[in-house]
Structure 1
Amino acid sequence: MNRAVRIQGTFVHTQRLGNLEILHDYLLVTDSTGVIAHFEAADSAQSQAALSSYAEPCITLPPGHFILPNFVDLHLHAPQFLYQGNGLHLPLMEWLNEYAFKAEERLDGDAALARRVYTRLARRLIQDGTGTVLLFGTIKEHTNLVLAEVMQKAGLRAFVGKLSMDISSRPSYMESSAQTSLQAAHSFVEKCRDLTASLPTHERLVEPVLTPRFVPTCSDELLVGLGKLSAAENLKIQSHLAEAHDQVEVVRSERGVEDIQVFDRSGLLTARTIQAHCTFLDVPSFKHVHSCGTSIAHCPLSNSYFSAEPFRLREALDEGVQIGLGTDIAGGYSLDLMNSMRHAVSISRMRQGAKIMAGLTDDDGKTLAIDWKEALYLATKGGAAALGLMTGVFAVGSPFDAQEICVFDSRGGGVGALDFFDHEGPGAVADPSVTIEMVEKWWCLGNAVNRTGMWVQGAKLDTSPL
């Protein structure tokens, strides 16, 4: 497949936390593998040469459209999409028994249902602008291979994790021993890699990830074995860390230490690791997480339901921890990462409000709140960096993973829930440019209606309604 693309128009990205750039009338060109080969102002000599020398037709964006990096969902339980939006009334450990384990076991026993659920999940992700996703799967190898196949076919960049768990409150949903679990993890890694081995490197979009569910479902022997497997095979690791009060207390009572210590001594806090939640970590713990190179998937919506503590986002950022956002389906009810961005800002502002009400001041100039531009960074470049990807920005050498957003139409009227009264009716500004206020309004009010295109590695994805 030739993934060469030429697009001229407005580009928006956040190369650094809080630094939003709106680049008007730029030209982006990719090579045949979907990697950006040129990105400059369209009126530069190099851009003019590119316009005349490449055979591919140039896409010229209409007024009111801009190109933005795809969203990166750093934490999503694929089988739990089966019951998304249900069962959020229980504490975490009870919820797992009542909903999560049952749903995962059901998909493990019905490959046709799994394929149907995962196919719909992939379409929904594309509609919501998510081009890269880090997925928790189930225990059974075949079901996770179905998940990997579906994501590869859909054109999504996906990191797929077969669950490893040799302890469970549901005896029918666990692996029989640590050694059995380790053998299954190794087998899945090999077979998942085989799925794309015959493809060119740039078309291999799916990658296996080691996935110990969390400390309460994994013996020390299993965790240590997974740490060794990760090091030997250079495999990414994902799990849950310090998520909820009842989960933290279970680990303390059963292991006699904090779960961060269990992960650390097992060789599972590494630069290849993404830990979800981390709501009960303090600043010294963030310092240690940063020193290990471990990243965090912040899932604000599910934290509101299952954690007695809000995530200390600003403190983690101040310590240099790499952070992205996750939806945590189905612990969070919304698959749209735009809602994760909005909840991240809201919760951080409430934390700042609580600080003010407690009589604490910002004499040091620091605030616990984040703004929408910082949240956009977390949803794009932040998540990509956590996964070791060069996506999330528009730069030469980066794969072209992007979405096209439309905020106003040819008449200057807002699209979807967006309204721009200054650009409508008599005296309206002709051919207005996309402004920071327009991007902010889209961030607050936009949805799938505003999304008119999606690309992963230069390939155009199907964004048509289901």
Structure 2
Amino acid sequence: MSLASTFVHCPSVRDVAFLEDHLLAVNQEGFITHIGPFHSEESAQILRSKGDAEELIIIPRTGLHLPLMQWLDEYAYKAEEKLDADLGLAKEVYSKLAQRLIDCGTGAVLLFGTIKEETNLVLAEVMQAAGIRAFVGKLSMDISSRPTYREASTQSALTSARSFVHRCRSLTSHLPAYEQLVQPVVTPRFVPTCTNELLAGLGQLAQEENVMIQSHIAEAYDQVEWVKRERGVEDTKIFATSNLLTPRTVLAHCTFIGPLKLQLLASTGMSVAHCPLSNAYFSEKPFELASAIMSHMKVGLGSDIAGGYTVDIMHAMRQAVVTSKMKAGFAKTRWIDAHELAERGTPWPDDVDKSEPTTRTVDWTQTLYLSTRGGAEALGLQGGVFTVGAPFDAQQIKVFDPANGYGVGAIDFFGEVEDGDKKIDLGVLEKWWCIGDTRNRTAVWVQGKQL
């Protein structure tokens, strides 16, 4: 397959690159074999051998009022148990999820499943059939406030986790490596649902089987306080002593972790799944995203799916910027208030730095990186960027319709597009980032295959 296009990608967290009038070639295995100027000699040779190229614009790709622990009790556990009890229902739900992910341009996803092996195998099968890269985690939990929804013992939980790893891998073992889109993930739900023995066993299992680890950590005030009260230490310490903080680990949320501890966590090579909308509902505290980026921590964007109202990562990009700016404004306001009170003789608060705060925010281009290359790095993937040897995972975006002279969807052009000029620049890309939707998305590829 050959595509002639303007390609837009984020090679680094502070760089948006436009490859205008380029030709990209993809081999039968779905890997990029060439990307270069359309009129270069090498591109010309490819066109002579493969014929015409298609011209595109490509870009790599209830109960929420309750506190987290109460929401899990009243909603999440019941829903998961219902899926575990009816595999037909599970397949129906997961098939709908797969289609919505594709509609939203998501070609790679890290999923929390349920505690039953068979249900998670259905999830893996559906994602593989849909052509989506899926990291599927069978939940491990030997503690639960819902007696009917937990594993019988620590040992049975470990046995089931190991069995799932093997069975999930066997689903695609007959396929070439580049077509094996589904991977198992060791998934302790979080500290409140796992004994220390289970966590340690899962850390050992992940090391022995060389699989990824995912969990939730430091997400909400009630969860953080529960761990301190019941275990006597913070959940980050428990994960560290259980060998669960590794370069293969992705931890969601991390909102109740300050900049200094984030630097220590970054040194382990772990990644963060930043879900800004879910954090607004359950954390009541924003993630230190700007600090994480400054610490060179691997960060990808997530929707948390159940912890919000949309699976669309475009919304997560926008919400991440809003959250970052609100957080910076709050810090500045607290410093101003403390400064004014100190001038009137009130002691300076211990939790407010006396030096004037430096405004650290993220902009839209950085969140575009986090939703493409950043997410790929967090998942240990080579994609998210247009370079030779990378898998061709991308989405096609249409912002202008030359047939009628109008922008597509909510994107309007007033006097900006003349004589059929379709030049894609940073301004047009920002328009799409701000107000684009599924009407602009006309194709999605994973490993070179159009979904």
TM norm structure 1: 0.91
Deviations 1:301-336 (A, max 9, x none): 000000131111111111111101110011122111
User: How far, CA to CA, are the matches of 1:45 and 1:57 in structure 2?
Assistant: 15
On the 8 A contact 2:400/2:422 being kept in 1, the answer is no
Whichever residue aligns with residue 36 of structure 1, its letter is: I
User: How far, CA to CA, are the matches of 1:271 and 1:166 in structure 2?
Assistant: 25
Please name the residue that 1:408 is paired with.
400
On the 8 A contact 2:382/2:390 being kept in 1, the answer is yes
User: How far, CA to CA, are the matches of 2:51 and 2:68 in structure 1?
Assistant: 52
Please name the residue that 2:445 is paired with.
455
1:417 lines up with 2:410 in the alignment? yes
On the 8 A contact 1:305/1:331 being kept in 2, the answer is yes
User: How far, CA to CA, are the matches of 1:16 and 1:381 in structure 2?
Assistant: 8
- Equivalent residues, number: 434
User: How far, CA to CA, are the matches of 1:163 and 1:281 in structure 2?
Assistant: 24
Of the three residues 361, 378, 386, the one matched with 1:386 is 378
Please name the residue that 1:464 is paired with.
none
Matches of residues 271-282 of structure 1 in structure 2 within 5 Å? 271-282=247-258
On the 8 A contact 1:280/1:309 being kept in 2, the answer is yes
- The structural deviation recorded for 1:430 is 2.7
1:324 lines up with 2:300 in the alignment? yes
**TM-aligned CA distance change 1:56 to 1:241, over 3 Å:** farther
1:69 lines up with 2:60 in the alignment? yes
Please name the residue that 2:316 is paired with.
340
Of the three residues 407, 431, 434, the one matched with 1:441 is 431
Whichever residue aligns with residue 413 of structure 2, its letter is: F
- The structural deviation recorded for 1:222 is 0.5
Secondary structure of the residue that 1:422 maps to in structure 2? coil
Gaps in structure 2 of 5+ consecutive residues:
337-352
Please name the residue that 2:350 is paired with.
none
Secondary structure of the residue that 2:24 maps to in structure 1? strand
1:36 lines up with 2:32 in the alignment? yes
**TM-aligned CA distance change 1:223 to 1:434, over 3 Å:** same
Matches of residues 157-172 of structure 1 in structure 2 within 5 Å? 157-172=133-148
Report the identity percentage: 55
**TM-aligned CA distance change 1:262 to 1:418, over 3 Å:** same
Secondary structure of the residue that 1:248 maps to in structure 2? helix
Whichever residue aligns with residue 365 of structure 2, its letter is: K
User: How far, CA to CA, are the matches of 2:69 and 2:317 in structure 1?
Assistant: 26
On the 8 A contact 1:167/1:216 being kept in 2, the answer is yes
Matches of residues 98-247 of structure 1 in structure 2 within 5 Å? 98-247=74-223
On the 8 A contact 2:274/2:299 being kept in 1, the answer is yes
User: How far, CA to CA, are the matches of 2:266 and 2:98 in structure 1?
Assistant: 32
- The structural deviation recorded for 1:365 is 10
**TM-aligned CA distance change 1:364 to 1:391, over 3 Å:** farther
Of the three residues 370, 373, 382, the one matched with 2:362 is 370
Deviations 1:368-411 (A, max 9, x none): 21100001000111010011111000000000000000011013
User: How far, CA to CA, are the matches of 1:332 and 1:289 in structure 2?
Assistant: 26
Whichever residue aligns with residue 33 of structure 2, its letter is: A
Whichever residue aligns with residue 395 of structure 2, its letter is: Q
Secondary structure of the residue that 1:292 maps to in structure 2? coil
User: How far, CA to CA, are the matches of 1:284 and 1:423 in structure 2?
Assistant: 46
Whichever residue aligns with residue 369 of structure 1, its letter is: T
User: How far, CA to CA, are the matches of 1:331 and 1:341 in structure 2?
Assistant: 16
User: How far, CA to CA, are the matches of 1:432 and 1:459 in structure 2?
Assistant: 26
- The structural deviation recorded for 1:366 is 5.1
TM norm structure 2: 0.94
Please name the residue that 1:48 is paired with.
44
Relative contact order, CA 8 A, sep 6+: which one is greater?
A: 1
Whichever residue aligns with residue 258 of structure 2, its letter is: D
Gaps in structure 1 of 5+ consecutive residues:
71-85, 462-466
Whichever residue aligns with residue 450 of structure 2, its letter is: K
Secondary structure of the residue that 1:280 maps to in structure 2? coil
User: How far, CA to CA, are the matches of 1:258 and 1:95 in structure 2?
Assistant: 22
Secondary structure of the residue that 2:107 maps to in structure 1? strand
Please say which of residues 429-438 and 168-177 is displaced more in the overlay. Answer: 429-438
Secondary structure of the residue that 1:345 maps to in structure 2? helix
Deviations 1:12-66 (A, max 9, x none): 001101211111110000111000000001111111111112x3652222xxxx1
**TM-aligned CA distance change 1:11 to 1:369, over 3 Å:** same
Secondary structure of the residue that 2:411 maps to in structure 1? coil
Matches of residues 20-35 of structure 1 in structure 2 within 5 Å? 20-35=16-31
Q: CA RMSD in A?
A: 1.6
Please name the residue that 2:53 is paired with.
58
Query: Which of structure 1's runs of 4+ aligned residues deviate more than 4 A?
Result: 363-366
User: How far, CA to CA, are the matches of 1:350 and 1:412 in structure 2?
Assistant: 38
Deviations 1:110-162 (A, max 9, x none): 00000000000000000001000000000000000000000000000000000
User: How far, CA to CA, are the matches of 1:412 and 1:398 in structure 2?
Assistant: 35
Whichever residue aligns with residue 303 of structure 1, its letter is: N
Of the three residues 390, 394, 402, the one matched with 1:398 is 390
On the 8 A contact 1:412/1:431 being kept in 2, the answer is no
User: How far, CA to CA, are the matches of 1:88 and 1:329 in structure 2?
Assistant: 12
- The structural deviation recorded for 1:359 is 4.3
